Amino acid sequence: MLFRGKTRVGRIFGSIVGGTLACLSATATRAEDVKAAYESQVGYTLHLLEAGRYGEAVDTAQGLVTAYPDAALPYELRGTTALYVGSLTRAQADWTRAAVTSKDSTTLYGLALCGLFASKLDVARDDLTQAGQKPGLSAAQTGDLETAR
């Protein structure tokens, strides 16, 4: 299984929170307040996912998308929650939207997960290969890349 316990979820998103926060800080008038609220909501959404409270995680991820529509991370979180609740169409739409503003390894990995869940193995393999060419994949994600080959 691609999602194995709470540390895996945190690793998937932990590396991209900083970049998104930096982007928000550059544009917000009250950057510290925005950054703290954003960080808190992201952390709470991850906590809900780790606790198996998927319905609530969907709601908090939606709140992030509404509050920060130009950031990639809220779409990645909502896309991940959609995978957990079995909404592949929603997940694909969110990860594709995230890819508009972010082409990092995590976004490509998320697109690969959607390909795997949709049984589009060639698409998933291509996305995993592209993700592997960028820095930021965890050891577990790299293992998924090796398995896909």
Q: Is the pLDDT of residue 137 over 80?
A: no
What is the pLDDT, as a whole number, of residue 40?
Answer: 86
Task: Give the type of residue at 135.
Answer: P
What is the pLDDT, as a whole number, of residue 61?
Answer: 93
Q: Residue 80, SS3?
A: helix
Nearest to 99 by CA among 89, 115, 110: 110
What is the pLDDT, as a whole number, of residue 147?
Answer: 66
What is the pLDDT, as a whole number, of residue 35?
Answer: 74
Tell me what the mean pLDDT of segment 89-97 comes to. Answer: 94
* Mean pLDDT estimate for the chain: 77
Angle separating helix axes 105-117 and 72-85, nearest 10 degrees:
20
Kindly report the number of other CB atoms within 10 A of residue 66's CB atom.
9
Q: Is the pLDDT of residue 115 over 60?
A: yes
Rg (CA), the chain: 15
What is the pLDDT, as a whole number, of residue 62?
Answer: 94
CA distance 93 to 88: 9
Tell me what the mean pLDDT of segment 19-34 comes to. Answer: 48
Residue 64 Rama label (left phi>0; alpha psi -120 to 50; beta): alpha
Q: Is the pLDDT of residue 13 over 70?
A: no
Residue 119 Rama label (left phi>0; alpha psi -120 to 50; beta): left
Q: Cα 14 to the chain's mean position, in Å? A: 9
